[in-house]
Amino acid sequence: MKYDRFIKAALTGLTLSLTAAAPTMAPAETLRVLRGAASSALNVPMNRAVVVESDVPYTNVSIANPGIADISSLSDRTLYVLGKEPGRTTLTLLGADGRLITNVEIHVTPDMGEFKERLAQILPGENIEVRTANDGIVLSGQVSSIARLERALELANRYAPDRVSNLMVVGGTQQVMLQVRFSEMNRSVRKSFGTNFTVGGSGGGLTTNAGTTPSAGGGNNGFATFGFGAGSMNVELTLEALETRGLVRTLAEPNLTALSGQEATFLAGGEYPIPVAQDENTITVEFKPFGVELNFIPTVIDDDIINIELHAAVSSVDTTNAFSGGGFTINAFSRRETSTTVEMRDGESFAIAGLLQDDFNDLSEQVPWIGDVPILGALFRSAAYEREQTELVIIVTPHLVSPTRGAALSLPTDRVQLPSEADLFLLGKTSAGTQIPGAAGEVARQDFSGSYGYVMDE
């Protein structure tokens, strides 16, 4: 008995729970048609069926465009209308006497109910409004990013291919400031040692030259001459020893701001004139830009993720590889450039390009046989040594930015104040001292003292 009561109670509870969990079925849409009365338009979702009921029996039913909607008769008073393709068509009902009962305008549209449900599931929290217009879908409202806008359009095209109108706008910060740092170090070391031995007299002389005179430095730097005479004979020995060191430091930090999806360009440098022959009697001049060049297109994809298409270059005039001809001298260019596409978040940095180059050149010249003699052969031998190192790094950092008040910005000219007459004529100061707060003051207080680079191995 106890077991029977327990089983009954369990079955009762299960029945109640299933009844509560069962979904409530929405009643199907039905259009009632009355003879002699104007029928309203019937909206049929695509791939869905709507019931049409007539108050009088019909004997003949037809659809103007079966490709848009299909019909299925259930009885002499009831039929199904199935939406197949978005569009408009007409349903005609005829009575037993052949007289017209009514014409019903059928408007087949994409299934907006299902589309809105899927849109809310895939893009929750987005303020997107969905409407139908001329057999298509119109999306409006504001979304948080371009990526979510593209997802909404892709989903809408599933329900209305090639019939989606986009009136959505992207909210949030859509302006990107790109900080680019070009850092380059060029170091060079050159050393040379050579001799010039000359013996002469009234009857002629002998000259040996174990090396060429270096041009670096100019003049007679690095030369020492020794000589003596005995009667009509003169002996002269010239020793050549020269060492040069060079260091070039290049640092550029251009900042450029652009709207998402728009291109921005930057050039800090100049333009070099190059003559171009058009024909035998005409020469025109074209200008080639050089300096620090930057082109980029930022795209804010989602939240703070930024896609950057970047082209950067550093170029300078190279006078050592000049071309001369036709009365013109055209200098060459030393150019380092990169073109890439990267993706990063707001405030993150990326080293998009790097160059480490080490060139070494060693040259030895001597007078045959004599230069191989120990100790004494050094006077008939010359050696030259040259080494160059180049390091180049390009680092980019994007930031999402918004406009600010002009009073919050400082200019480079704010760091330098014009001197008074007393400062200029009595104290010899070219600028008046100021106390500038923040980062601008730190830069203003910097000087040019201190070591740079490092000493190369010899």
Residue 379, helix vs strand vs coil = helix
- pLDDT truncated to tens, each residue of the chain (458 aa)? 444 444 444 444 434 343 333 333 334 466 776 665 656 778 888 888 888 888 888 888 888 988 889 888 888 888 888 888 888 888 888 888 888 888 888 888 887 888 888 888 888 888 888 888 777 889 988 887 777 888 889 998 888 888 888 988 877 667 888 988 888 888 888 777 776 666 666 555 555 555 444 444 444 555 666 666 666 666 666 666 777 777 777 677 888 889 888 899 988 888 888 888 788 778 888 898 888 888 999 988 877 788 999 998 888 888 888 888 767 788 888 888 889 999 988 889 988 888 788 888 887 777 677 667 776 666 667 778 788 888 888 888 999 888 877 666 666 666 667 778 887 788 777 767 655 555 555 555 555 444 433 333 33
Q: How many helices (H) and strands (E) does the chain have?
A: 5, 22
What local confidence, expressed as pLDDT, does residue 12 receive? 43
What local confidence, expressed as pLDDT, does residue 296 receive? 92
Q: Which amino acid is at 163?
A: R
CB atoms within 10 A of CB 174: 19
Q: Which domains does the chain have, with CATH numbers?
A: 38-109 (2.60.40.1080), 112-170 (3.30.70.1770), 405-443 (no CATH)
Residue 199, helix vs strand vs coil = strand
CB 309 within 8 Å of CB 341: yes
What distance in Å separates the CA atoms of residue 272 and residue 188, rounded to the nearest whole number?
27
Give CB contacts under 8 A, 24+ apart, made by 239-243.
239/193, 239/194, 239/195, 240/192, 240/193, 240/194, 240/195, 240/196, 240/211, 240/213, 240/214, 240/382, 241/192, 241/193, 242/190, 242/191, 242/192, 242/214, 242/216, 242/217, 243/189, 243/190, 243/191, 243/192
What distance in Å separates the CA atoms of residue 136 and residue 163, rounded to the nearest whole number?
5
Strand order in the sheet with 305-325: 264-277, 283-302, 305-325, 328-345
Q: Which residues of 52-62 are buried (b: 16+ CB within 10 A; e: fewer)?
A: bebeeebeebe
What local confidence, expressed as pLDDT, does residue 370 receive? 67
What local confidence, expressed as pLDDT, does residue 341 receive? 92
CB atoms within 10 A of CB 164: 19
What local confidence, expressed as pLDDT, does residue 14 receive? 39
Of the chain, the end-to-end C-alpha distance in Å amounts to 106
What local confidence, expressed as pLDDT, does residue 360 receive? 84
CB atoms within 10 A of CB 136: 18
